[in-house]
């Protein structure tokens, strides 16, 4: 009997490929193992065994596999089942899912580039001869392709050698190497607590009258703290008093001064569990009991807890329970909320059991987490991860936590699989009969709706921890302010007043503007022309710092023009504003304070993000200007004021979720204010203070927002009432994409009638020289989703068979965001 195996290849093929194997191989091979297989004329891929059978393919002659790469499966059966669900639900191929799931070091192929592992030096004596040859070659050449290695070893079959080298950590698969960010330690000093009484202080100053230099240092310390109301850095003290660091050191040695570092929660993880979990307050206790009760009846529960209510500590108790039963835990977070702060907080409770799975980590680290999870080892029993960690090889999962469950970044936008990690996690948990807790201060309408329908359990925490008050939210009518000439640039008199007050007290400020750059539109006052991107149908954004015009869709950049390209006039004006302009204005309004900016442009470099957070934590920044990056994961005691520069551009964004999202964004940013005993303040500047969403934000009324938005969703047939699938067509030729989209929409209408909308050009109709058209299919709840997709696939197949349309790219996005 001939033997065959169906292989998932890491490329988007609609079908699996069948290869032939020997009897011996068929006895050894198991589902989920990796094999090296030839593909096309000369390529070699790493594939995953999907099935083993005796049916020869009919359409082609099966090739033989080259090599079995594993002794045990690296992908387990439940995982394969989840991959199949993802592929079928999100209408993509198993190859797409495989690529998203596996760390790149697992997927060796002809195109793979390897280089020496520069993070770690290895003992060369552990290398076998062929391994050494490759390793040695990397001393002369920084990177090698599989093909080069074939030449070096003079054989075709080299993947096993590479795999062994990876396992010995001698080489890396090409990608950015991630190193852990270590914040620079800043030294601070304060007067030792012995001298806190006036009497003791006088005694000290008398005593120091014989050491005038030291006395001067102490007096300078007083004057700096009185002036800045902030912790005093050793370097500032030394500069202002003119004393050398030796003088300061002697004061520290004499216990006159005390030295310390500000590093909230950032103790370097020492490898041990150092803390017991916290005693919950009554609100948290009640919530925990209710969650456990609801888990008895339902697998999924939504926890709606206001910002800073201590949700994380409730999660910690559930995690303790799960790991005490020997179960695995998945803790999902949006990428950007996955900060060092949180990682350290959990490691303090759970030590080495916590593993972090994050796109910023090197492939080695990801492979390590993968095998811990696969082998159900104690290390990695708790996986803290972003989106793709839902695709890890769990085998004993007991609990899934999805924090900030409303975050849109849980949905992958590009490339396929365009999956939603929260929804996929729910399916994953179901496979294991595990419990899922969704947590948010501003739940998605989808989840809240499910809770209302009793599909999910529902638990609330309405108080902030320690009875800290919710910040006071004030709406500032800037239309009126403009009329009465009370604006300075983009700042109202109210905002300036509050900022001045906050800074005087030594507190910090966050200013939110959801656009980066200086100003999004440059316009000629003479002829009205504004510079456009040559590749996209969108105006270029002015970035003052680099004096550039840049496209935020394709990255195109050009020097700022002095005169209008159309008419030559030099009378150019800019409209709208971004973070860069706000930063500039703040700097001139408050020249004596430190201002920083956090957006895509300032956090691009390595650790850009971490550096800004550390500086904020160490109070080196007084005012931080930023985009939505600010909304997540920041927990800083000293921020007392949040300013939202302009609420209107969020509200007016052309998307059916714009209102829901504005509400979530504004409440989340507001949640950064006043996390300690003093009440924080939030100022929202707007042209339309009577907008319902703003009223709902200012009264923190989630339910009112929910009811109103759901009304719209019913009326206009949007999710969560209807499901929807968005089809995007792309081509460089406008006429072609237009004809193709009309054809497609017409065919879809024959099946789905009025539930097909479009084709329509999106607001930015051309991106990277590709014209886009969208078609939307709305699916009533009672209509079978499976049949709907089958019909779409059938129509798509007919579409592909039309010669003219074949080059049009089609993107299917299920549950589009
Ligand atoms: P949320 O996730 O709801 O925004 P967090 O869990 O981050 O809130 O809690 C906010 C702050 O309150 C954190 O600094 C946390 O350490 C503290 N906190 C929460 N619960 C407790 C508790 N039971 N005991 C001590 N501190 C707590
Ligand atoms: Zn002009
Ligand atoms: Zn562009």
Domain boundaries, the chain: 3-108, 110-178, 193-255, 282-466, 472-515+591-712, 519-576, 723-814
Supply φ then ψ for residue 175, to 5 degrees.
180, 175
Cα 96 to ligand 3 centroid, rounded to whole Å? 27
Do 626 and 598 form a contact (C-beta atoms < 8 A)? yes
Q: What is the pLDDT of residue 182?
A: 52
Q: Which of 312, 401, 405, 676 to mutate to test the pocket of ligand 1 (most atoms within 8 A of CB)?
A: 312
Q: What is the pLDDT of residue 116?
A: 82
Supply φ then ψ for residue 617, to 5 degrees.
-60, -40
Q: Report whether residue 278 contacts ligand 1, using a CB cutoff of 6 Å.
A: yes
Each residue of 209-222: b (16+ CB within 10 Å) or e?
A: eeeebbbbbbebbe
Q: Report whether residue 307 contacts ligand 1, using a CB cutoff of 6 Å.
A: yes
User: By CB neighbour count within 10 A (0-12 exposed, 13-18 middle, 19+ buried), where does 754 fall?
Assistant: exposed
Non-local CB neighbours of 740 within 8 Å, separated by 6+ positions:
729, 731, 773, 799, 804, 805, 808
Structure tokens at 74: 């690296």
Do 687 and 492 form a contact (C-beta atoms < 8 A)? no
Instruction: Say what the pTM is.
Output: 0.83
Q: What is the pLDDT of residue 606?
A: 62
Cα 553 to ligand 3 centroid, rounded to whole Å? 5
Q: Report whether residue 310 contacts ligand 1, using a CB cutoff of 6 Å.
A: yes
Q: Report whether residue 674 contacts ligand 1, using a CB cutoff of 6 Å.
A: no
Name the residue with tokens 């009326």.
715
Q: Give the strand order in the sheet containing 113-116.
A: 143-145, 113-116, 171-173
- Prior bond of 720 cis (ω within 30°): yes
Name the residue with tokens 């920083």.
596
Tell me the CA distances in angstroms from 181 to 346, 348, 440, 515, one per residue in order. 18, 18, 28, 27
Q: Which of 313, 320, 441, 467 to mutate to test the pocket of ligand 1 (most atoms within 8 A of CB)?
A: 313
Q: What is the pLDDT of residue 176?
A: 37
Q: What is the pLDDT of residue 249?
A: 86
Q: Give the strand order in the sheet containing 300-305.
A: 354-357, 382-385, 328-332, 397-403, 435-440, 300-305, 457-461
CATH domain 723-814 topology = Alpha-Beta Plaits (3.30.70)
Supply φ then ψ for residue 137, to 5 degrees.
-60, -30
Do 18 and 62 form a contact (C-beta atoms < 8 A)? yes
Q: What is the CATH number of domain 110-178?
A: 1.10.10
Cα 530 to ligand 2 centroid, rounded to whole Å? 8
Q: Report whether residue 349 contacts ligand 1, using a CB cutoff of 6 Å.
A: no
Q: What is the pLDDT of residue 180?
A: 45
- Prior bond of 173 cis (ω within 30°): no
Locate the DSSP E strands across 91-137.
113-116
User: By CB neighbour count within 10 A (0-12 exposed, 13-18 middle, 19+ buried), where does 499 fall?
Assistant: buried
Cα 563 to ligand 2 centroid, rounded to whole Å? 8
Cα 577 to ligand 3 centroid, rounded to whole Å? 19
Cα 559 to ligand 3 centroid, rounded to whole Å? 14
Non-local CB neighbours of 615 within 8 Å, separated by 6+ positions:
596, 621
Q: Give the residue ranges of the annotated binding site.
A: 524, 527, 533, 536, 551, 554, 564, 567
Structure tokens at 586: 């703040």
Q: Give the residue ranges of the annotated binding site for Zn(2+).
A: 524, 527, 533, 536, 551, 554, 564, 567
Strands 639-644 and 508-512: parallel
User: CA nearest 544: which of 509, 587, 512?
Assistant: 587
Q: Report whether residue 284 contacts ligand 1, using a CB cutoff of 6 Å.
A: yes
Q: What is the pLDDT of residue 177?
A: 35
Protein residue closest via CA to atom 18 of ligand 1: 310
Q: In ligand 1, which atom is closest to the CA atom of 441?
A: 3
Non-local CB neighbours of 242 within 8 Å, separated by 6+ positions:
216
DSSP 367-403: HHHHHHHHTT-STTSEEEE-GGGGGS--SSEEEEEEE
The ligand that comes nearest to the alpha carbon of residue 526 is 2
Q: What is the pLDDT of residue 179?
A: 41
Protein residue closest via CA to atom 21 of ligand 1: 310
The ligand that comes nearest to the alpha carbon of residue 549 is 3
Q: Report whether residue 465 contacts ligand 1, using a CB cutoff of 6 Å.
A: yes
Give the span between the Cα atoms of 794 and 432, in whole angstroms.
33
Q: Report whether residue 313 contacts ligand 1, using a CB cutoff of 6 Å.
A: yes
DSSP 713-746: HHHTT-TTTEEEEEEEEEESSHHHHHHHHHHHHH
Query: Average pLDDT of each block of 10 consecutive residues along the chain (817 residues)?
Result: 89 90 91 90 86 92 89 94 96 94 79 75 84 84 80 82 86 54 68 82 84 86 80 85 85 86 46 72 96 96 93 96 96 82 86 85 79 91 94 96 94 94 97 97 96 96 88 94 93 97 93 80 82 86 85 86 87 82 94 91 75 84 88 74 91 87 92 78 94 95 96 93 95 96 97 94 90 95 93 95 93 90
Supply φ then ψ for residue 324, to 5 degrees.
-65, -25
CATH domain 472-515+591-712 topology = Rossmann fold (3.40.50)
Q: Report whether residue 635 contacts ligand 1, using a CB cutoff of 6 Å.
A: yes
Q: Report whether residue 633 contacts ligand 1, using a CB cutoff of 6 Å.
A: no
The ligand that comes nearest to the alpha carbon of residue 768 is 3
Cα 231 to ligand 3 centroid, rounded to whole Å? 46
The ligand that comes nearest to the alpha carbon of residue 561 is 2
Give the span between the Cα atoms of 493 and 480, in whole angstroms.
11
Do 406 and 438 form a contact (C-beta atoms < 8 A)? no
Give the span between the Cα atoms of 756 and 661, in whole angstroms.
25
- In sequence order, the β-bridge partners of residue 6 are 18, 51
Name the residue with tokens 């003479």.
526
User: CA nearest 236: which of 252, 217, 251?
Assistant: 217
Q: What is the pLDDT of residue 110?
A: 65
Cα 309 to ligand 1 centroid, rounded to whole Å? 6
Domain 3-108 - what CATH class?
A: alpha beta
- The dihedral over CA atoms of 792, 797, 802, 807, expressed in degrees to the nearest 10, equals 90
Q: Report whether residue 668 contacts ligand 1, using a CB cutoff of 6 Å.
A: no
Q: Report whether residue 311 contacts ligand 1, using a CB cutoff of 6 Å.
A: yes
Do 528 and 571 form a contact (C-beta atoms < 8 A)? no
Give the span between the Cα atoms of 121 and 797, in whole angstroms.
52
Tell me the CA distances in angstroms from 96 to 18, 336, 538, 815, one per residue in order. 18, 24, 31, 18
Cα 564 to ligand 2 centroid, rounded to whole Å? 5
Decide if 3-108 and 723-814 have a common fold. Answer: no
Strands 397-403 and 113-116: unpaired
Cα 39 to ligand 2 centroid, rounded to whole Å? 56
Q: What is the CATH number of domain 282-466?
A: 3.40.50.300
| Chain centroid, CA 716 distance in Å | 30
């Amino acid at each position: 009997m001939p033997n065959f195996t169906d292989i998932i290849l890491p490329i988007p093929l609609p079908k699996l490929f069948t290869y032939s194997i020997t009897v011996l191989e068929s006895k050894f091979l198991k589902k989920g193992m990796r094999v090296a297989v030839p593909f096309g004329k000369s390529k070699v891929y790493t594939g995953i065994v999907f099935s083993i059978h005796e049916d020869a393919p009919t359409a082609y002659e099966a090739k033989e596999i080259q090599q079995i790469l594993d002794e045990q499966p690296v992908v387990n059966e439940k995982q394969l089942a989840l991959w199949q669900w993802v592929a079928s639900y999100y209408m993509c191929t198993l190859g797409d899912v495989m690529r998203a799931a596996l760390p790149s070091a697992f997927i060796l192929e002809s195109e793979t580039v390897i280089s020496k592992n520069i993070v770690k030096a290895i003992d060369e004596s552990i290398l076998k001869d062929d391994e050494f040859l490759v390793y040695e070659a990397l001393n002369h050449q920084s990177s090698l392709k599989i093909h080069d290695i074939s030449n070096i070893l003079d054989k075709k079959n080299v993947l096993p050698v590479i795999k062994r080298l990876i396992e010995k950590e001698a080489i890396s698969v090409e990608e950015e190497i991630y190193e852990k960010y270590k914040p620079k330690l800043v030294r601070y000093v304060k007067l030792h607590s012995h001298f806190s009484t006036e009497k003791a202080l006088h005694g000290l100053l008398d005593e120091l009258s014989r050491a005038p230099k030291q006395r001067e240092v102490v007096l300078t310390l007083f004057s700096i703290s009185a002036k800045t109301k902030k912790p005093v850095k050793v370097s500032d003290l030394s500069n202002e008093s003119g004393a050398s660091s030796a003088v300061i050191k002697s004061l520290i040695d004499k216990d006159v001064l005390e030295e310390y570092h500000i590093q909230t929660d950032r103790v370097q993880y020492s490898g041990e569990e150092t803390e017991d979990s916290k005693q919950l307050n009554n609100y948290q206790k009640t919530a925990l009991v209710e969650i456990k009760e609801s888990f008895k009846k339902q697998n999924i529960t939504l926890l709606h807890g206001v910002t800073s209510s201590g949700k994380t500590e409730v999660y910690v108790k559930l995690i303790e329970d799960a790991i005490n039963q020997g179960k695995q835990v998945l803790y999902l977070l949006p990428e950007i909320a996955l900060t060092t702060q949180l990682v350290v907080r959990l490691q303090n409770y759970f030590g080495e059991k916590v593993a972090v799975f994050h796109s910023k980590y090197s492939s080695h680290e990801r492979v390590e987490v993968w095998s811990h999870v696969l082998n159900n080892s104690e290390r990695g029993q708790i996986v803290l991860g972003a989106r793709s960690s839902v695709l890890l090889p769990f085998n004993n999962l007991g609990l899934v936590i999805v924090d900030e469950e409303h975050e849109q970044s849980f949905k992958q936008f590009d490339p396929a699989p365009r999956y939603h990690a929260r929804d996929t996690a729910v399916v994953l948990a179901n496979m294991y009969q595990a419990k899922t807790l969704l947590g948010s201060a501003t739940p998605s309408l989808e989840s809240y709706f499910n809770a209302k329908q009793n599909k999910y359990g529902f638990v609330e925490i309405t108080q902030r921890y320690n009875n800290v008050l919710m910040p006071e939210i004030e709406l500032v009518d800037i239309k009126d302010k403009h009329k009465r000439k009370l604006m300075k640039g983009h700042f109202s008199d109210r905002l300036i007043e509050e900022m001045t007050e906050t800074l005087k007290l030594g507190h910090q400020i966050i200013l939110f503007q959801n656009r980066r750059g200086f100003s999004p539109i440059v316009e000629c006052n003479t002829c009205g022309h504004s510079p456009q991107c040559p590749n996209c149908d969108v105006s270029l954004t002015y970035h003052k710092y680099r004096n550039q015009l840049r496209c935020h869709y394709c990255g195109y950049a050009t020097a700022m023009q002095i005169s209008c390209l159309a008419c030559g006039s030099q009378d150019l004006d800019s409209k709208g504003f971004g973070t860069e302009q706000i930063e500039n204005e703040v700097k001139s309004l408050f020249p004596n304070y430190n201002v920083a900016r956090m957006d895509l442009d300032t956090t691009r470099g390595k650790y850009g993000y971490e550096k800004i957070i550390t500086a904020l934590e160490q109070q080196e920044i007084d005012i931080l200007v930023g985009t939505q990056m600010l909304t997540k994961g920041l927990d800083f005691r000293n921020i007392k004021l949040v300013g939202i520069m302009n609420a209107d551009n969020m509200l007016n964004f052309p998307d059916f979720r714009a209102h829901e999202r504005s509400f979530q964004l504004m409440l989340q940013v507001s949640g950064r204010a006043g996390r300690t005993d003093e009440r924080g303040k939030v100022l929202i500047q707007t042209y339309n203070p009577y907008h319902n969403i703003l009223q709902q934000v200012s009264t923190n009324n989630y339910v009112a927002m929910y009811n109103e938005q759901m009304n719209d969703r019913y009326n206009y047939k949007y999710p969560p009432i209807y499901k929807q699938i968005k089809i995007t067509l792309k081509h460089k030729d406008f006429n072609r994409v237009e004809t193709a989209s009309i054809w497609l929409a017409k065919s879809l209408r024959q099946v789905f009638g009025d539930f097909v909308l479009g084709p329509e050009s999106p607001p930015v109709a051309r991106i990277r020289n590709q014209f886009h058209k969208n078609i939307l299919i709305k699916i009533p709840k009672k209509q079978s989703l499976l049949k709907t997709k089958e019909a779409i696939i059938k129509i798509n197949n007919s579409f592909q068979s039309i010669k003219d349309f074949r080059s049009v790219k089609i993107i299917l996005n299920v549950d589009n965001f």
